[in-house]
Amino acid sequence: LANTFQGDGEPLIASLALSGIAFAASFAMIRWLGPTLMKAGLKGTDMSKVNKREIPECMGGVVAVVYLLVIIVFIPFPFYKDIVAATSGGGNRDVVVTVVEQVERGRLLHKFPHGKLASYLSAIISLQSITLLGIGDDLFDIRWRHKFFIPAFASIPLLVVYFVDFGVTSIVVPIPLQPYLGELVNVGALYYVYMAGVAIFSPNSINILAGINGIEVSQSIVIAVLLAINDCLYLLTPYPHPATDSHLFSLYFLLPFLGVSGALLWHNWYPARVFVGDTYCYFAGMVFVVVSILGHFSKTLILLLIPQIFNFCYSVPQLFGLVPCPRHRLPRFNARTGLLEPSVTPWTGERQPKAPIAWGLKVLGTLRLLRVTLDEEGRFVETTNFTILNLWLVWRGPLREDRLALEITAMQTVVGLFGLFVRHGLAQLIFKE
């Protein structure tokens, strides 16, 4: 495997091995720490079950810590050869070092890829910050409008390194528009706003596509696997690709992520024995941001987040208060059938939508993008909550919880594969490689 990749495959083998260790360590920690988290009050009620048990929450915090430790242990591996080169030739310390030797050492030290190390360290700082903030949220239930911007702070180290190392703020113009705009357009500071926007969006969008057993982890695993496939497509090209290094970097961060997520999914899949907490959603989203910003493929990430983008856009009426948004919008469990049904916002008594909103709701209802229930006088009784999970249930009818998670995960996979196809097949038609 190592030889098929361009350049040096050894760190990749180490990364694979450490990812296995990350899986095993997370698996054990999840088992061991369940009662501890419960005792500390980090627990949640599984709402879609007949007997609503409390199970440990915030297991994402546990696996994020395992992940960070593994990534830290991994630091020497990709730099091993550079470290050896930069420190070799010293010989015996008792021997007086000649000026020539000193100059030579300085030259080698100068050749050390400090920029690459900076990318590494900044990625770790970002992921540590988001984990810290996520655990804070799980502990104190930070208000939605406050926690929304949390990831922007965590992305600052990445943006600084991006600025110092690459500083590329121009975007490639699609061929049909090139006569008017030229081949490249420099968008300057706006590019940083865009990257901070991606950093805010990715973690939050995973957090709101949530609420049924397994879905937070399974969607993240699909995205990570597709990003890893994307990396391999670059690494397996027969000629050395200029982006080899950034895609190796991406794999070093994604493989251990898949390791810890696998262990988490094992325990979080229906019927869940643990909840992942907001920490996991933020952490997963940030892993994608880290690899795609430092690897320069944030547009590919956007293609892989299409279901999340849809879920966010669809949620806008509730997120921005045009339609009342209850604390929980997860599907409603029908204890009689054991199946999930769309959860609803009731429009009881005096509470009726204003005219333009009522019109919009009815249009969505006609388009089968919402289930609208009216009484005989045409007054609103209830409308389903605006999440892709509820919409799926409107389309498909009541489903068992694991069935719904499976179907949404399959949809994410199909849409993501299509995204990659667009990126690698169609992109050549509108962008010159």
Residue of 18, 23, 26, 46 interacting with ligand UD1 (CB under 6 A) = 46
Q: Nearest distance from residue 34's CB to Mg ion, in Å?
A: 19
CB burial readout 94-120, b (16+ within 10 A) else e: eeeeeeeeeeebeebeeeeeeebebbb
Residue of 213, 230, 298, 308 interacting with ligand UD1 (CB under 6 A) = 213
d(CA 198, CA 155): 10
Q: Does 261 participate in binding ligand UD1 (rule CB under 6 A)?
A: no
Q: 62 contacts which partner out of Mg ion, ligand UD1, none, CB within 5 to 8 A by kind? A: none
Q: Residue count at the site for Mg ion (CB under 5 A)? A: 2
Q: Nearest distance from residue 145's CB to ligand UD1, in Å?
A: 11
Residue of 14, 21, 38, 47 interacting with ligand UD1 (CB under 6 A) = 47
Q: Does 387 participate in binding Mg ion (rule CB under 5 A)?
A: no
Q: Nearest distance from residue 204's CB to ligand UD1, in Å?
A: 9
Q: Residue count at the site for ligand UD1 (CB under 6 A)? A: 18
Q: Nearest distance from residue 140's CB to ligand UD1, in Å?
A: 11
Task: Name the segment binding ligand UD1 (CB under 6 A); options: 3-11, 39-47, 149-157, 177-185.
Answer: 39-47
Give the residue with the Cβ less far from Mg ion, 103 or 309: 309
Count CB neighbours of 243 within 10 A: 17
Tokens representing 70 are 């593994």
d(CA 400, CA 329): 17
d(CA 304, CA 177): 25
Task: Name the segment binding ligand UD1 (CB under 6 A); options: 127-135, 208-216, 250-258, 390-398.
Answer: 208-216
Q: Which helix (H) or strand (E) holds 229?
A: helix 215-235
Considering only residues 324 to 343 of the shown chain, the ones binding ligand UD1 according to CB under 6 A are: 328-330
Residue of 48, 202, 207, 385 interacting with Mg ion (CB under 5 A) = 207
Instruction: For tokens 């879905």, name the residue.
Output: 215
Q: Measuring CA to CA, which residue among 429, 390, 389, 428 is closest to residue 409?
A: 389
d(CA 232, CA 221): 16
Residue of 57, 340, 383, 390 interacting with ligand UD1 (CB under 6 A) = 57
Residue of 23, 61, 269, 278 interacting with ligand UD1 (CB under 6 A) = 278
d(CA 399, CA 339): 5
DSSP string, 246-267: HHHHHHHHHHHHHHHHHHHHHH
Q: Does 385 participate in binding Mg ion (rule CB under 5 A)?
A: no
Hey, what's the torsion of the CAs at 405, 409, 411, 413, to 10 degrees? -170
Tokens representing 199 are 């950093």
Task: Name the segment binding ligand UD1 (CB under 6 A); options: 71-79, 203-211, 282-290, 389-397.
Answer: 203-211
Q: Does 307 participate in binding ligand UD1 (rule CB under 6 A)?
A: no
Q: Does 278 participate in binding Mg ion (rule CB under 5 A)?
A: yes
- Cα dist from 367 to 361, 404, 411, whole Å: 10, 22, 20
User: Which parts of this chain interact with ligand UD1 (CB under 6 A)?
Assistant: 44-48, 57, 207-208, 210-213, 272, 275, 278, 328-330
User: Which parts of this chain interact with Mg ion (CB under 5 A)?
Assistant: 207, 278
